[in-house]
Amino acid sequence: MPEQNNNFACLSGNYLAFYNAIKHAYPDIKIVSNCDASSKPLDHPADLYEYHTYPHDARSMFNNAQVFDNTPRNGPKAFVSEYALIGEEQAKLGTLLGAVSEAGFLIGLERNSDHVAMASYAPLFVNANDRKWNPDAIVFNANKVYGTPSYWVQYMFRESSKGATFLESQLQTTDPTSLAASAILCQNPQNNKTSLKIKVANMRSDQVNIKISVEGYATSNLTESTITVLTSINALDENTFSDPKKVVPKRSPFQRAGKEMNFIIPPISLTVFDLL
C-alpha cells in the first residue's frame, strides 16, 4: 500500500463503458473513481473520487488537514476511503500520538465537509492472532476486544457525520502546525437538544492555554455542559488486552461554559467541549 498521499494506480481501461452503462440503467448509483482529484481535475466523469493517505510521520498526518482547502468545488466530491498514521516508530500498534495526528486531519475534513462526502479509517478490525497490517481501530481475539486510541478519536468525531452544521471559526495561534480546532452545531437524536461542540487537537509536547470566544450562541444549561479529553502520560502509550482503557476519553462537567472561556489543553491530546 502507498505510504503518503497517493492513490492506487489510476486506471481508465473500460471505465467509461462501465460508467455509461451503469448510469443508463441505474442513474441514482454513485460512481467512485480511483483517481485523485484533490489537486487536479479528473479527465473522466465521476460522482466521487477516492483519496487515501498513510504517512509515517505524525506531523505529516496532522498537517495533511489542508489537503482539500483549495480543491475546486465544481467537480466530484472526495471519499477519503483510507487514512492512518503507520510505522513502527510513531504508530506502532496504535498510539496516542498517531490518534491525535489523525484528529488534526479529521478537523481538516470537517472544515472541508462541503467537499468531503465520506471518510473511513482503515483498517477497522484486526485479529490479534493474524495481524497483516498495523495499526487498526479495533483489536480482538477469541474472547476479548479493545479499541485503539484511533478508535476513540473516531468516537469523539461521531456527531460530525450525522447532519451537523459546520461553523466558521478562527484559530489564532503562532503554531498552526501543532494546534487545530473546529466547531459544529449538532442535535442529540435522543432528546433533540442542540449542542455546540468545539474540538481542539494539540500535537505539542507541552500544554497550551487557550481562550475560547463564542458569538451568537448562548449556553442554556451550564450544569450539563461537558469536556472530554483523550490523552495519556506518554505520547506512545497504547491500549492492550491487559490494559484496554489506558488511553480512552475522559468526560467531566464543564461549568465554566459561557461566551468567554479559558482552559489548559493537555499535551498530545484531543479535547472536545460540549456546550448545551
Query: CA Rg, the chain, in Å?
Result: 20
Q: What is the identity of the amino acid at 248?
A: V
Q: What is the 3-state secondary structure (H, E, C) of the chain?
A: CCCCCCCCCCCCCCHHHHHHHHHHHCCCCCCEECCCCCCCCCCCCCCEEEEEECCCCHHHHHHHHHCCCCCCCCCCEEEEEEECCCCCCCCCCCEHHHHHHHHHHHHHHHHCCCCEEEECCCCCEEECCCCCCCCCCEEECCCCEEECHHHHHHHHCHHHHCCCEECCCCCCCCCCCCEEEEEEEEECCCCCCEEEEEEEEECCCCCEEEEEECCCCCCCCHHHCEEEEECCCCCCCECCCCCCCCCCCEEEECCCCCCEEEEEECCCEEEEEEEC
Rounded Cα distance between 90 and 24, Å, is: 48
* pLDDT at site 3: 44
Q: Which of 10, 1, 82 is nearest to 41 (CA)?
A: 10
Residue 237 lies in a domain: yes
Residue 127: which CATH number? 3.20.20.80
Q: Are residues 104 and 200 in the same domain?
A: no
Of 133, 162, 191, the position where a domain reaches its end is 162
* pLDDT at site 4: 47
Q: Are residues 176 and 67 in the same domain?
A: no
Residue 209: which CATH number? 2.60.40.1180
Question: Within the chain, which residues score under 70 in pLDDT?
Answer: 1-12, 218-223
* pLDDT at site 230: 98
**Per-residue pLDDT tens digits for 205-251:** 999 999 998 887 766 566 688 999 999 999 999 999 999 999 999 99
For residues 109 and 68, is the Cβ–Cβ distance under 8 A? yes
Q: Are residues 23 and 50 in the same domain?
A: yes
Residue 112 lies in a domain: yes
Rounded Cα distance between 276 and 83, Å, is: 32
Q: Tally the domains of the chain.
A: 2
* pLDDT at site 272: 96
Given CA atoms 18, 24, 25, 28 in this order, what sign does their dihedral have? Answer: positive
Q: Which of 155, 151, 231, 226 is nearest to 193 (CA)?
A: 226
| Range of the structural domain that residue 202 is part of | 166-275
* pLDDT at site 1: 38
